[in-house]
Amino acid sequence: MTSAAPTQNIIMEGDAVTRLTRIIGRVLLYLLLIVMSLWFLAPLFWMFMSSLMPLDQVGVFPVQWIPRVWQPENYTQALEFWNFGTTFRNTMFIAIVSLIGDIGSCTIVAYGFARFRFPFRDTLFLILLATLMLPFAVRLIPVYAAYDAIGWIDTFYPLIVPNFFGNAFYIFICRQFFLGIPQDLLDAAKIDGASEMRIFTQVMIPLARPAIVVIAILSFQNSWNDFLGPLIYLKDPDLHTLAIGLYKFTSLPGQGGIYNQQMAASTMMVLPVLIVFFLFQKQFIQGANISGLKG
Amino acid sequence: MATAFGSQFSALRGRRRERWRDLSPMRKREAKMGLLFITPWIIGVLLFSLFPFVASFLLSFTKYNIVAPPKWVGLEHYVHIFTDDPLFLKSLRNTGVYVGGSVAIRIVLGFALALLLNAKVRFLGLWRTLFYLPSIVPIVALSVIWLYVLNARAGLLNSLLYAIGLPRFRWFADPDIAMIGYLIMSTTWVGVTMVIFLAGLQGIPEEYYDAAKIDGANVFQRLLRVTIPLMTPTIYLNILINIINAFQVFTQVFIMSDGQGGPRDATRTYVLHLFDHAFQYLPPQMGYSSALAWILFMIIFAFTAVIVATSQRWVFYQGSEANS
């Protein structure tokens, strides 16, 4: 007993040291996480705070975080300049129709790739993946020229119609999901005499709901955020989307200085996305993950 | 997706191609149904990928201003680009800075953050949400915000530098460092890469670390010998995707420099240069722009090819030869 005591003591001391380093490590870890969170969130927090400030407070150096006077009228003034009602309606229209097109076409095509054998299927799927790597700059000009030739400039068609022909990435997501559904289930439906169309609409689609939610979110986010498309296809101010409206509002000569109203307008554009994000966080993260891992 | 490519290729190699006339009547019916289901995509890929791909190649040898039909000029645009367009080289260099910097930031910072969150932290979901949050903000709003973050006089970043006693910078007002501003802004999207890395890290079996611990490996050895080798497929994929995307950087630069790429073309990126010729010049120079687009395509293709070709040497696929 007595001879064992010193070694035990040493072990105890060693434990205390490792525990101490572990605690220090943990403190540093959380400190780092907090610093990084501040880095990521400060710009958004400032957007919101400055949207409620009087104009002269926005330009103060070093930056101030709490409005001296709370000025919610920045929002109503921003709404006056920025054609929010029209741009919001246009954006919602484009987003919803595109979403219907994306979900419809991508589930149908993905089902074709996932559940049927046909010649060149794997080659075609490889082509599908390859189109993901084609730079948009290469497509831009001929597609624009074609829309111009058929009179689709200054209409919503260029922003909506392509979504009815399948998006490679969404098809990929959906196909992965379909492949995971057990074949037995389909065989059972077939034995019961269900047609392919019935199996698709009444068995597969309900089962694929998680994948469809991911696609719906990505599609909606895409329409809501799109800038280049509306920029080149929509010249008429009555057709402008939120993104273009916000851009015009912030870049008009003479309005370069009204930062508080610009931040109010930005907040109005960001808020719906944040709400959708908090409602469907899991699907957002899944959407990001599928692009990186599956397959 | 990179592994998806791999498995698709091996699937192609492995199976003998089926010919239509060898199929049984039942298999023929199945094949017809399959083709019917994928018809929308076939039409889509012909209209929105193949047609523009071929057409832009042909247009690159013409003078085309949309109003009049294209006029064949042979290699004139390409000669002009390489001999007489100083902004071509400048925009390429600016884009190169962005590609190198932003891909490094996203991979290194994204991996580091994922490692932190994988260290059994509390409130994992909360941290992940906070880090991911900025990347969902619409890019127009983000650009408006970052114009102010990087404002030379009273911006957020200069306030921060001032608060910790560092010198301030003129960011977008200074041609020498204007591109650095966009690199700092690109930290906004680190959360996306982080989420992908984190999911990869969480997929590494605990037993590997236990075995390494028994063999006496310390934290750094475990990182170098277990974590990083197992993560190479994900790292590879992210490098690939991020390089392809970074070469096409456009929207934030367009918005924040009001379509000019200023100051003095210091932030004129390649796609901005190309866009300028097609949509801001009067009359539009769609042919010239197409030539620029095809050069960009070749550059991206070359980078992709090199990365894919060298990947066999450093990308490690767990326990299978199927993808190598």
Q: Give me the CATH number covering residue B134.
A: 1.10.3720.10
> Taking the C-alpha atoms of B147, B258, A162 and A272 in order, what is their torsion angle to the nearest 10 degrees?
30
The residue from B77, B99, B119 where one domain ends is B77
What is A235-257 written as a DSSP string?
-SGGG--HHHHHHHHHHSTT-TT
Q: Are residues B180 and B32 part of one domain? A: no
pLDDT over 70 at A291, yes or no:
no
Residue B265's identity, in one-letter code, is D
- Residue B318 is predicted with a pLDDT of 63
For A273, the closest of B138, B191, B247 (CB atoms) is B138
Q: What is the pLDDT of residue B243?
A: 95
Q: Is B153 in contact with A131 (Cβ distance < 8 A)? A: no
- Residues B302, B154 within the same domain: yes
Q: What's the number of domains chain A is made of?
A: 2
A273 and A153 within one domain:
yes
Indicate if A68 and A79 belong to the same structural domain: no
Domain boundary among A17, A38, A72: A72
User: Does the distance separating the beta carbons of A292 and B199 come in below 8 Å?
Assistant: yes
The pLDDT tens digits for A177-205 are: 888 888 888 888 888 888 888 888 888 88
Query: Can you name the residues that pair with B63 across neighbouring β-strands?
Result: B71
Local structure of B94: helix, strand or coil:
helix
**Parent domain of B42:** 20-77
Domain annotation covers residue B12: no
Distance CA B223, CA B202 (A): 14
CA distance A89 to chain B (A): 17
B72 and B88 both lie in a single domain = no
- State the Cα–Cα distance between residues B61 and B199, nearest whole angstrom: 46
Query: Given B62, B77, B92, which residue is the final one in a domain?
Result: B77
Asked whether the beta carbons of B98 and B246 are under 8 A apart, the reply is yes
CATH number where A265 lies: 1.10.3720.10
DSSP-assigned beta bridge partners for residue B71: B63
Q: How much is the pLDDT for A235?
A: 92
pTM of the model: 0.90
**A277 to chain B, minimum CA–CA distance in Å?**
8
Q: Based on C-alpha coordinates, what's the Rg of chain B? A: 24
Domain housing A27:
4-72
Average pLDDT over residues A243-270: 84
pLDDT at B319 (0 to 100): 55
Q: Which residues of A touch B156 (CB under 8 A)?
A: 42-43, 46, 63
pLDDT number for residue A295:
35
Q: What is the pLDDT, as a whole number, of residue A12?
A: 54
**What are the pLDDT digits (tens) for A5-15?**
444 555 555 67
Q: Are residues A247 and A164 in the same domain?
A: yes
**For residue A157, what pLDDT is reported?**
97
Q: What is the mean pLDDT of each run of 10 residues along chain B (324 residues)?
A: 51 60 85 93 96 96 92 95 94 97 97 93 91 94 93 90 92 92 96 92 89 88 90 91 94 92 92 95 93 96 93 76 38
Q: Are residues B72 and B103 in the same domain?
A: no
Looking at the fold, whether B237 and B157 belong to one and the same domain comes out as: yes
Cβ-contact A95, A139 below 8 angstroms: no
B191 and B112 within one domain: yes
Q: Determine whether the interchain pair A165/B48 forms a contact, defined as Cβ–Cβ distance below 8 Å.
A: yes
Q: Are B146 and A44 in contact (CB under 8 A)?
A: no
**Both tokens assigned to B206:** 């605990």
The interface predicted TM-score (ipTM) is 0.87
The number of folded domains in chain B is: 2
> Which residue type occupies B149?
V
Q: What is the mean pLDDT of chain A?
A: 87
Least confident range from A53-57, A258-262, B5-9, B59-63: namely: B5-9
Do residue A138 and residue B18 have CB atoms under 8 angstroms apart?
Answer: no
Tell me if B148 sits within 8 A of A266, measured CB to CB: no
Under an 8 A CB cutoff, do A285 and B132 touch?
yes
Q: Which residues contact B136 (CB under 8 A, 6 or more apart)?
A: A221, A273, A274, A277, A284
Q: How far apart are CA A163 and CA A97, in angstroms?
A: 9
Tell me which chain B residues have a C-beta less than 8 angstroms from the C-beta of A133.
244, 300, 304
Query: Which token pair is B87?
Result: 């902004």
**Cis omega (within 30 of 0) for bond into B263:** yes
**CA separation, residue B186 to residues A110, A128, B240, B242, B253 (Å):** 33, 29, 17, 11, 12
Residue B14 located in a structural domain = no
pLDDT at residue A72 greater than cutoff 80: yes
End position of a domain, from candidates B61, B77, B93: B77
Rounded Cα distance between B300 and B270, Å, is 12
Residues of chain B contacting A116 with CB distance shorter than 8 Å: 30-31, 33-35, 37
User: Which of 20-79 (A) contact B at CB < 8 A?
Assistant: 29-30, 32-33, 36-37, 39-44, 46-47, 50, 58-63
A3: confidence class by pLDDT, cuts 50, 70, 90: very low
Tokens representing residue A115 in the block: 């559940």
Instruction: Answer yes or no: do A51 and A151 share one domain.
Output: no
Bond from prior residue into A43 cis (ω within 30 degrees of 0) = no
Residue A195 backbone class (left: φ over 0; alpha: ψ -120 to 50; beta: rest) = beta
> CA of B88: how far to CAs of B26, B245, B257, in Å?
57, 19, 18
Same domain for A270 and A241, yes or no, is yes
Q: Read off the DSSP letter of residue A208.
A: T
